[in-house]
A and B are shown apart, each in its own frame.
Chain A
Amino acid sequence: GAVVSQHPSWVICKSGTSVKIECRSLDFQATTMFWYRQFPKQSLMLMATSNEGSKATYEQGVEKDKFLINHASLTLSTLTVTSAHPEDSSFYICSATTSGRIYEQYFGPGTRLTVT
């Protein structure tokens, strides 16, 4: 149980375009979903926290107009990278938690974004 999927697993886009990444909890209802970004050989950096039906809370330094997060249901959250630039190229990982297990987050497999 506790499976989280992400789609797509990798994507290449041109500079200036927008990319949407989906995060789904397949066998449980996720009250909270988190979006992380990981650069090579570095730690996972939390970008934002989203709760179903409410606006996402962004970490300091993360542009909310550039990284749009929508948590429309208890099983789906989306991250849209708008007007992507090469510096947005990274590995994006989502995680999900269920009520009562907030400290045990289940992570998706990640999405590799390359902006050319």
Chain B
Amino acid sequence: DQQVKQNSPSLSVQEGRISILNCDYTNSMFDYFLWYKKYPAEGPTFLISISSIKDKNEDGRFTVFLNKSAKHLSLHIVPSQPGDSAVYFCAASFDNQGGKLIFGQGTELSVKP
């Protein structure tokens, strides 16, 4: 049972435009959501997180939106840059499970110059 889903395996965006990566989850008890960026043959790098009690968190070009009623979160990257091209994973966590992360399948973002 996939508790965290990223239904778009890939996304292509023009440089300078907005990239929107989506993530859906099934368990309303998740306490935190995180986004990671991953290059081939490397480990994921933490990007941004959001607590379940918030609906938005912003850090520079990256903003994460959380819609609890829809069990949906999205990562917005504005403006998109070619260096943003990578695989993006969303992940979810419970407060009482010692930091265990449940990952989505990932979305490969390609930003074209």
Known: A43-B105, A44-B103, A109-B43. A104 touches B34 (CB 8 A): yes
Chain A residue nearest to B44 (CB atoms) is A107
Q: How far is the CA of A34 from the CA of B36 in the complex (A)?
A: 16
Question: For the complex, is B42 an interface residue (Cβ under 8 Å from A)?
Answer: yes
Interface size on A, residues (CB 8 A): 26
Query: Which applies to chain A's interface (DSSP): helix, strand, loop or mixed?
Result: strand
Would you call A108 and B102 a contact (CB within 8 A)? no
Known: A104-B49, A106-B46, A112-B41. A34 touches B101 (CB 8 A): yes
Q: How far is the CA of A46 from the CA of B91 in the complex (A)?
A: 12
Question: For the complex, is A102 an interface residue (Cβ under 8 Å from B)?
Answer: yes
Instruction: Encode contact with B along A22-37: 1 for CB under 8 Å, 0 otherwise.
Output: 0000000000101000
Interface residues on B, range: 20 to 34
Q: Which residues of A sit under 8 angstroms from B106, Cβ to Cβ?
A: 41-43
B residues in contact (CB < 8 Å) with A: 4, 9, 32, 34, 36, 41-46, 49, 89, 93, 98-106
What 8 A-B pairs come out closest when comparing CB atoms? A107-B43, A102-B99, A43-B103, A44-B103, A43-B105, A107-B44, A108-B43, A103-B32
